[in-house]
Amino acid sequence: MSRYWSSIVAGLTPYVPGEQPKLPKLIKLNTNESPYGPSPRVLAALRAEVGDTLRLYPDPGCAGLRESIAAFHKLTPAQVFVGNGSDEVLAHTFLALLKHEQAVLFPDVSYSFYPVYCGLYGIAYKQVQLTESFEVRVDDYLVPNGGIIFPNPNAPTGIPLALAEIERLLRANTGSVVVVDEAYVDYGAESAAGLIARYPQLLVVHTLSKSRSLAGLRVGYALGDAGLIEALRRVKDSFNSYPLDRFALAGAAAAMEDRAYYERSCAKVIATRARLGDELVSLGFEVLPSAANFVFARHPRHAGAELAASLRERGVLVRHFGNPPRIAQFLRITVGTDAQCKALIAALKAILA
Ligand SMILES: *Cc1c(COP(=O)(O)O)cnc(C)c1O
């Protein structure tokens, strides 16, 4: 605390990202990055950007990238907003579309950045309990609200919500914006992007950090009715005209255009996830049904924090959340390569022995 701080800064509780270790040897299964590199076409596009044009500002409207994203989702560029990672897209969404008199609703077990944005922007929020089996129950959200946001599949549980349930929510909730954060949708859940034409209050948020293997490039986007997109653009152009640099614009467009590469890498992760789940179950873990690139698992006889610490000693990083208390027993384990998952299982066997 410093006497020079604003009262806003003094009251902030910032998000704590997962560890990015300095030691290169660690097996990193803690922040849901892809274990596979980006498409070779992305790397070629990035190399092509190295040159004299770097003296010029990038396109503030990100037209080329928005066109590639629109083509992928069969939408128009006016229905696409891009940002510096979906975290930035989400931040603008909270300020532009979720800050109202009534509280915004999100699950009590969910992406822990949501309450941080509420704190930053002074937004009232209410956390809605997941069911006993850690599922989102749509009926619990059919109450007066200033907006609704949840990841699908949810994080850190990995459990998906059926598209029919999302549509039921949209039919009932027309007075406020419904944001579906689809950071992990490519690993087995149904996207709500196809509902955008019919529901002007729906915003779907995607990231290139997971299924497109580009966490290091920082690109995310939102899909929605042009009116919602315009609200995001107004916030962005009141904050930073150029959040995406020339590399991000070129690399992200190439990633969106190489559909086959990303489909193959998602399929590999999905296949490994099934094997990893089976191995964890045979070690006595309970594994929640995951449609994401991670699994959420607990052992009936071992505390989550202790398991995570023992794994770290053996060179394997996983994520553990202490709050809320009912998930404290769980580990969130990113699905790595088959070799990485094998090393994780070997380490767990040694710890549990
Ligand atoms: C990873 C993640 C994001 C953020 O992704 P970036 O694009 O890297 O900022 C957003 N929402 C959820 C639920 C995530 O897990």
The residue whose C-alpha atom lies closest to atom 15 belonging to ligand 1 is 183
Q: Which of 86, 203, 210 to mutate to test the pocket of ligand 1 (most atoms within 8 A of CB)?
A: 86
Nearest in space to 207 (alpha carbons), one of 44, 31, 328, 327: 31
334 Cβ below 6 A of ligand 1: no
Q: Which helix H or strand E contains 332, and what residues bound it? A: strand 330-334
Q: Which atom of ligand 1 is nearest to the CA of 155?
A: 13
Output the DSSP codes for 262-331.
Answer: HHHHHHHHHHHHHHHHHHHHHTT-EE----SSEEEEEBTTB-HHHHHHHHHHTTEE-B----SGGGTTEE
Distance 73 CA to ligand 1 centre (A): 19
Contact 202, 180 (CB under 8 A): yes
**What three-state secondary structure class fits 203?**
strand
Q: Is the CB of 58 under 6 A from ligand 1?
A: no
Phi, psi of 328 (to 5 degrees): -65, -20
pLDDT of residue 23: 76
Residue 155 Cβ contacting ligand 1 at under 6 Å: yes
30 lines ligand 1 (CB under 6 A): no
Q: Kindly give the pairing relationship between strand 286-287 and strand 202-207.
A: unpaired
- Roughly what angle, to the nearest 10 degrees, separates helices 246-257 and 63-73? 20
How close is the Cα of 86 to the center of ligand 1, in Å? 6
Whole-number pLDDT of residue 159 = 98
Ligand 1 nearest atom to the CA of residue 87, by list position = 9
- CA distances, 161 to each of 86, 104, 167, 213, 328 (Å): 20, 19, 11, 24, 23
Q: What pLDDT, on a 0 to 100 scale, did the predictor assign at position 17?
A: 87
- Helix, strand, coil % (nearest 5) of the chain? 40, 15, 45
Tens-of-pLDDT digits for all 353 residues of the chain? 789 999 999 999 999 888 888 877 899 999 999 999 999 999 999 999 999 999 999 999 999 999 999 999 999 999 999 999 999 999 999 999 999 999 999 999 999 999 999 999 999 999 999 999 999 999 999 999 999 999 999 999 999 999 999 999 999 999 999 999 999 999 999 999 999 999 999 999 999 999 999 999 999 999 999 999 999 999 999 999 999 999 999 999 999 999 999 999 999 999 999 999 999 999 999 999 999 999 999 999 999 999 999 999 999 999 999 989 999 999 999 999 999 999 999 999 999 99
Task: State the greatest distance between any 2 C-alpha atoms of the chain, in Å, as a whole number.
Answer: 60
What is the pTM assigned to this prediction?
0.97
Pairing verdict, β 147-151 and 104-107:
parallel
Residues 6+ apart with CB under 8 A from 348: 280, 283, 307, 311
**171 CB-near residues (< 8 Å, 6+ apart):** none
Query: Quick one: which of 270, 295, 273, 272 has its CA closest to 285?
Result: 295
- Please report where in the chains the tokens 């701080």 appear, as a residue: 5
Cα of 3 vs centre of ligand 1, distance in Å, is 34
C-alpha to C-alpha distance for 143 and 152, rounded to whole angstroms: 20
**How far apart are the CA of 353 and the centre of ligand 1, in A?**
35
Distance 182 CA to ligand 1 centre (A): 9
Question: Does 251 sit in the ligand 1 pocket, CB within 6 Å?
Answer: no
Residue 212 Cα, ligand 1 centroid: separation in angstroms?
12
Residue 290 Cβ inside 6 Å of ligand 1? The answer reads no
Mutate to test the pocket of ligand 1, among 30, 31, 111 (most ligand atoms within 8 A of CB): 111
Cβ 183 under 6 angstroms from ligand 1: yes
Contacts of 260 (CB under 8 A, 6+ apart): none
Which residues partner with 220 through β-bridges? Answer: 83, 207
Q: 5-27 burial, b if ≥16 CB within 10 A, otherwise e?
A: eeeeeeeeeeeeebeeeeeeeeb
Residue 181 and residue 204: Cα distance in Å, rounded?
A: 6
Read off the pLDDT of residues 271-313 as tens digits, 9 standing for 90 and up. Answer: 999 999 999 999 999 999 999 999 999 999 999 999 999 999 9
> How far away, in angstroms, is 150 Cα from ligand 1 center?
12
User: Which tokens hold the place of 9?
Assistant: 């800064």
d(CA 155, CA 279): 22
Residues 6+ away with beta carbon under 8 Å from 328: 303, 304, 305, 320, 321, 322
